[in-house]
Amino acid sequence: MRVLIPTPLQSYTASATVDAQGATLGEVLADLDRQFPGIRFRMIDEQNRTRRHMRFFVNGTAVFDLALPLSPDDELCIVQALSGG
């Protein structure tokens, strides 16, 4: 599956686009962490919940459930909100 990586997380991947595998959103994030150690913790907290500033879109639709089934031809876009004042 094609995964679009936001600029702040590209320090892990060295690329804006990577490939990952998994039957669910959670499995894809685990595969990303296997390939790029530490990246999952930037998106998912210690209680296995999505961090407040992270959003996931599958084929352009916002998703919130880590157990969401995915197919290999889906595209996952990871978005990190920016804050400031």
pLDDT tens column, 42-79: 999 999 999 999 999 999 999 999 999 999 999 999 99
Supply the pLDDT for residue 46: 95
- Band of pLDDT at residue 82, cut at 50, 70 and 90: confident
Of 59, 31, 64, nearest to 48 (Cα)? 64
Supply the pLDDT for residue 81: 84
Torsion of CA 9, 14, 61, 23, to 10 degrees: -100
CB 22 within 8 A of CB 68: no
Q: Which domains does the chain have, with CATH numbers?
A: 2-80 (3.10.20.30)
Amino acid 36 reads: F
CA-CA distance, 52 to 64, in Å (whole number)?
11
Q: Is the pTM of this model over 0.85?
A: yes
Residue 84 has pLDDT above 80, yes or no: no
